[in-house]
C-alpha cells in the first residue's frame, strides 16, 4: 500500500502534468528514486539498477524496473499490475544490452514512443549511457530536459508530508540527544555513530525511522571537513565534534546539526557559537512568504560580517523526500542570487556550517515556512554542547 491517500497522488500528478504542459512535454521519464516515490508511491532500495516511472499526459503512470523488483513495486505503489513491468535479469549490468533499450520498446508498444519526452538530465540515475541508449532506440522522439521538474512540484509540501517531516524532526532530536548523551572522550567514533543511527532507525514508540540521506561527523583535526564518516578512533579530549544527521521518516527528512566540545571550550569557539546562533535567529525571524532565498542569506551575512566572519557556501536548501546520498531537493538554495520566493509550506534545512580549521562549528535546523513566519521542526537548544 502506498504511503499517502490516492487523492494526494492524484494532486501530485495533476501538478506535474501542469508543469509538463508548460514545457510541452508529453511523456516524462522519471529516474530519480525520490520522484518515482513521490508520483507512484514506489519505495524500494532498487535504484542501483536502472528503473523508471513514466508519466504521460494521457496515460496512467507506468513503472518499469528489474523483474525481481516487481513485487517491490506492487507492494508499495498504487499502480495496477498491468502498469508494473519487469525487464528480464539479463539486462542487469550487462555489456550487451541496456535496460533503456527495453524501456524504449515498451514506450513504443504503448504508443508513447513518438512524442516529446522529458528526461531528468542531471539526475544521478539518468546516466550518460541511459540517454545515449534512449536516443538511439527512439530516433523519432524529441527529448527535452526536465531535470528538477518534479523537484519543483515537490517544493510545496502537503499537510500529510509536513506531518511526516514533523515526525522526522522528532526522530532527529532524539538521535542528536542520543549522540550527545553517548559522546565522551573515550567513546570510539564508530560506537557514537552506531548509537545515533540506532536512534534514527528505531524512531519513537509511535513511529519508526529510516536510513537517512546521510550521517556525517567531523571530529578534532577533521572538524573542518563537512562530509566525513566516522573512524575507529576515540573522540578525544579538547576537541570539537560536529555532527550532522537527518531524522528520517518514510524517506522524509529533517536535517539537524550541532557541535559538541569535549572539554572546556576556547572563548573563540564560544563566541563563534553565539554569533552563529544570532545569525540563525535573524534568518528565522526574516522567514515569511514573499521573502526570497537570497534575502535570508543576506540577513545572515549581515550578522556574521559584523564579527569579521564570512561563509563561502550556501546556508540552506529545500529539503524533503530523499534517498541516500542526499536529502536536499536540488531546487532553491539560500544563497546570493537565488530569487526563489518563500511560500507557505516550503521546508528548508538551514545549515550554518562554519568550517574553519580546528575551531569549526555547525548549527542547523529544518523549518517550515508558515503564513506568518516559520516553525522549526527541532526542539534542541541552539548551543554549543559541552561534555567534560
**Contact positions with a second copy (CB under 8 A) in 76-95:** 76, 88-90, 92-93, 95
Q: What is the DSSP letter of 341?
A: B
**Smallest gap from residue 371 Cβ to a second copy (A):** 28
Burial class (CB in 10 A: 0-12, 13-18, 19+), 1: exposed
Piece of 155-163, 207-215, 234-242, 252-260 that binds a second copy (CB under 8 A): 207-215
Piece of 12-20, 140-148, 256-264, 362-370 that binds a second copy (CB under 8 A): 140-148
To 10 degrees, what angle do helices 128-137 and 99-109 make?
40
Regarding 186 and contact with a second copy (CB under 8 A), the answer is no
Residue with cell 511523456: 27
Could you write out the DSSP letters of every residue in 141-185?
A: -EEEE-TTHHHHHHTSPPHHHHHHHHHHHHHHHHHHHHHHHH--T
**According to CB under 8 A, which one of 9, 78, 102, 125 is a site residue for a second copy?**
125
Regarding 152 and contact with a second copy (CB under 8 A), the answer is no
Regarding 325 and contact with a second copy (CB under 8 A), the answer is yes
Regarding 345 and contact with a second copy (CB under 8 A), the answer is no
CA distance 260 to 252: 26
**Smallest gap from residue 107 Cβ to a second copy (A):** 17
* 101 sits in which H/E element: helix 99-109
Regarding 202 and contact with a second copy (CB under 8 A), the answer is yes
Q: What is the DSSP letter of 118?
A: E
Regarding 229 and contact with a second copy (CB under 8 A), the answer is yes
Query: Do 323 and 141 touch, CB atoms closer than 8 A?
Result: no
Regarding 213 and contact with a second copy (CB under 8 A), the answer is yes
Closest by CA to 196, choosing from 242, 139, 140, 261, is 242
Regarding 8 and contact with a second copy (CB under 8 A), the answer is no
CA distance 354 to 268: 13
Interacting positions 352-371 with a second copy (CB under 8 A): 353, 355
**According to CB under 8 A, which one of 105, 231, 292, 345 is a site residue for a second copy?**
231
Piece of 154-162, 201-209, 296-304, 372-380 that binds a second copy (CB under 8 A): 201-209
**According to CB under 8 A, which one of 113, 118, 169, 203 is a site residue for a second copy?**
203
Regarding 193 and contact with a second copy (CB under 8 A), the answer is yes
Amino acid at each position: 500500500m502506498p504511503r499517502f491517500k490516492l487523492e494526494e497522488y492524484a494532486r501530485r500528478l495533476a501538478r506535474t502534468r501542469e508543469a509538463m504542459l508548460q514545457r510541452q512535454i508529453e511523456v516524462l521519464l522519471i529516474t530519480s528514486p525520490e520522484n518515482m516515490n513521490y508520483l507512484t508511491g514506489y519505495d524500494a532500495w532498487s535504484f542501483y539498477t536502472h528503473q523508471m516511472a513514466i508519466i504521460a499526459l494521457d496515460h496512467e503512470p507506468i513503472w518499469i524496473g528489474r523483474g525481481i523488483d516487481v513485487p517491490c513495486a506492487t507492494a508499495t505503489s498504487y499502480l495496477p499490475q498491468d502498469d508494473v513491468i519487469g525487464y528480464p535479469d539479463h539486462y542487469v549490468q550487462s555489456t550487451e544490452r541496456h535496460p533503456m533499450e527495453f524501456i524504449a520498446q515498451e514506450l513504443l508498444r504503448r504508443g508513447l514512443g513518438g512524442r516529446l519526452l522529458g528526461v531528468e538530465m542531471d539526475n544521478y540515475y539518468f546516466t550518460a549511457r541511459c540517454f545515449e541508449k534512449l536516443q538511439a532506440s527512439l530516433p523519432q522522439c524529441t527529448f527535452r530536459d526536465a531535470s528538477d521538474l518534479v523537484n519543483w512540484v515537490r517544493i510545496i509540501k502537503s499537510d500529510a508530508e509536513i506531518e511526516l517531516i514533523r515526525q522526522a524532526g522528532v526522530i532527529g532530536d532524539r538521535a542528536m540527544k542520543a549522540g550527545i548523551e553517548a559522546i565522551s572522550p573515550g567513546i570510539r567514533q564508530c560506537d557514537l555513530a552506531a548509537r545515533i543511527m540506532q536512534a534514527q532507525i528505531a524512531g519513537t514508540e509511535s513511529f519508526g525511522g529510516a536510513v537517512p540521506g546521510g550521517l556525517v561527523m567531523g571530529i578534532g583535526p577533521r572538524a573542518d571537513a563537512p562530509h566525513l564518516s566516522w573512524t575507529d578512533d576515540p573522540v578525544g579530549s579538547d576537541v570539537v565534534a560536529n555532527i550532522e544527521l537527518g531524522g528520517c521518516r518514510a524517506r522524509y527528512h529533517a536535517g539537524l546539526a550541532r557541535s559538541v566540545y569535549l572539554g572546556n571550550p576556547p572563548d573563540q569557539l564560544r563566541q563563534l557559537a553565539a554569533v552563529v546562533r544570532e545569525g540563525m535567529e535573524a534568518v528565522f525571524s526574516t522567514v515569511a512568504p514573499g521573502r526570497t532565498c537570497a534575502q535570508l542569506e543576506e540577513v545572515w551575512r549581515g550578522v556574521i560580517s559584523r564579527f569579521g566572519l564570512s561563509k563561502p557556501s550556501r546556508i540552506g536548501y529545500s529539503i524533503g523526500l530523499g534517498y541516500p546520498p542526499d536529502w536536499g531537493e536540488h531546487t532553491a538554495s539560500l544563497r546570493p542570487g537565488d530569487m526563489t520566493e518563500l511560500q507557505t509550506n516550503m521546508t528548508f534545512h538551514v545549515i550554518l556550517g562554519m568550517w574553519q580549521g580546528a575551531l569549526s562549528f555547525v548549527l542547523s535546523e529544518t523549518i517550515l515556512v508558515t503564513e506568518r513566519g516559520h516553525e522549526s521542526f527541532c526542539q534542541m537548544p541552539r548551543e554549543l554542547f559541552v561534555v567534560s
